[in-house]
Chain A
Amino acid sequence: MRNALPPLAVLLAAAIALPWAAEALGQPATIGLATRILCLGIAAASLNLILGHGGMVSFGHALYYGLGAYTVGILWEHFRLGEPIFGVIPGSNELLVTLPIAMVVAGVAAAVIGALSLRTSGVQFIMITLAFAQMGFFLFVGLKAYGGDDGMLVRRRNIVPGLDLRDQNQLYWLCLGFLVAWLLLQWRIVESRFGRVLEGIRQNERRMAAIGIATYRYKLVAFIIAGMGCGLAGALTANYLRFVSPDLMAWQKSGEIMVMVILGGVGTLLGPVVGAAALVGMEYVLGGITENWQFFLGPILLAVVLWAPGGIMGLLGRGARRG
């Protein structure tokens, strides 16, 4: 980790400087693209905690993304109308209020869903997490008060003391700050005693029970942390898009987040972010050439799975060792 610090510092400096570079090069649209990558990077990193480190293949992770986004959207709607939710909870447009609430909402959902689905494993676990996410999807499709399947607008971004999020550069830096903070937290977790247990469960759950670890509760706590991280990503996304819709929690989105983790490198710190950048970048470049860009994405994914099982981070590592 120590010799990884200088490259990380360079990477961070480049990320901070990106808006200025984009403006200097006359490419301000890049900043929006980069903000999307940061948000999806947090979502993918959070999935990586349970998928890459805990061996839990959740196929419903976008549910927490959508819940985080809808929390911001619904709080905004009630703030705008001046009507408390259920006549009790007032709406809000303050990021320092909406963001923690989004994380708690996602965390509570993850606690309930995790408590039920972690009683299974393997294919059953994949299917049950998918089923729960689909339930959430159809719930919000049916919620006409919040736009149903059309979604709803968040006309103005949340406010933060000292920042103006209408400025896309400031929103970008805010998202970058949250991504760095989340990665730092997750790095500590992975290295901690809790992370060792999680890694042990991924490698051999039977062994973990045999040394006296009640694995279920560790998996559940990891599942909740991952859900909260994805809720954070969703809340930031709602602010970036100024729009929320059930598509944010559709199974395609869960698949996309999983692809980012696999593409970037399962179980690595930066892999999910690199994967998010690669997928969004490919969508942008290939999407500019043809409408059917996903047709070309397929073979690329296939190549990664077949010849680079460690993902892009695995390839970079191999290159660094050779060089």
Chain B
Amino acid sequence: MALWGCLAGGRGVVEALLSVRGLRKRFGGLAATDDVTLDVRPGELHALIGPNGAGKTTLIGQLTGEITPDAGHVVFCGEDITRLSVAARVKRGLARSFQIVQLLDDDTALANVALAVQAQAGHSFRFWRAAGRDAGLLEPARALLEQVGLARHDTRVADLSHGERKLLELAMALAARPQLLLLDEPMAGLGAAESLAMTETLRALKGGLSILLIEHDMEAVFALADRITVLVYGRAIATGTAEEIRANPAVQDAYLAEELAP
């Protein structure tokens, strides 16, 4: 099972799959990430919520490697990955989806996922055999598309609906066979029915791998999350179960009062 891959790696039992310690990032006078400490345990679905401008995107950028923190550490499977490149982190089992979809628009959905499968199948310095009919890439790619429930395999991304692209984002991330999946607002821009379908898809994934879910859709967050961390002005002000977060007065002040008003 992929989930326990890092435990078998000889580093001993780790309590947290991902631990973030004292992470800081400033943009000029703005502390976008202000001393954030956070643990994602093996197998849990951990949600990260916070009002707009709380620094969620900056934080996920530092976890994936697109943004270098000013201070602090990101430890994955017991290994300090703070200075590793984006691609190196993916190789270690840390994959992500994008809030604003990042796909190959000229290619079909299937070709997109096939390329993501290829990226996991060793190096791509293979110059002669055609990749477009390689069953070793296409079959896993089809399986992933079916897993996320995207039916139009052979449609170009440019012709897919927004909801379908969000599903494709998820399939691309899963193709990396991650131990930890960072999902950056997978429900953003989805209709009510699509949101529900995505919630069910995520529920089916739960347990098989760890997920750090950044999401504005509170209904989905409270339905899915084992634990929730609340980020406000770059600081993690609370972490706990759904009930604990709902009951936390600081959280209510900062955030939930407006969101969960009856």
Contacts and interface: CB of A to CB of B under 8 A. Distances in A.
Interface stretch (B9-17, B45-53, B83-91): B83-91
Q: Which 3 A-B pairs have the closest CB atoms?
A: A212-B90, A209-B86, A207-B102
9 contacts: A192-B128, A197-B118, A199-B107, A203-B105, A203-B107, A204-B102, A209-B87, A212-B90, A214-B87
B93 to A, nearest CB: 10
A218 B120 CA distance: 15
Interface string A205-229: 0111111111100100100000000
A191 interface: yes
B182 to A, nearest CB: 10
A193 B131 contact: yes
A210 B128 contact: no
B119 interface: yes
A192 B128 CA distance: 5
Contact of A210 (B88, B96, B118, B134): B96
Given A211-B90, A211-B175, A192 B130 contact: yes
Contacts, number: 96
Interface string B108-135: 0001001110111000111111111010
Contacts of A194: 124-127
Interface in B38-66: 64, 66
Contact of A214 (B88, B96, B114, B175): B88
A183 interface: no
Q: Tell me what chain A mostly uses at the interface: helix, strand, loop, or mixed.
A: helix
- Chain B CB count within 10 A is highest, among A189, A214, A215, for A214
Given A211-B172, A221-B125, A192 B131 contact: yes
B104 interface: yes
Interface of A: 188-189, 191-197, 199-200, 203-204, 206-215, 218, 221
A216 to B, nearest CB: 9
Most chain A beta-carbon neighbours within 10 Å: one of B90, B96, B111, B172: B90
Contact of B176 (A191, A204, A208, A211): A211
Contact of A200 (B86, B115, B129, B173): B115
Interface centre among A193, A200, A215 (most CB of B within 10 A): A193
Contacts of B128: 188-189, 192
Interface of B: 64, 66, 85-88, 90-91, 95-96, 98, 102-107, 111, 114-116, 118-120, 124-132, 134, 172-173, 175-176
A195 B131 contact: yes
Given A197-B115, A207-B104, A210-B102, 11 more contacts: A191-B130, A193-B134, A196-B111, A204-B102, A209-B86, A210-B95, A210-B98, A211-B115, A211-B119, A212-B91, A212-B95
Nearest to A215: B87
A91 B244 CA distance: 82
B168 to A, nearest CB: 11
Contacts of A213: 87, 119, 124
Contacts of A188: 127-128, 130
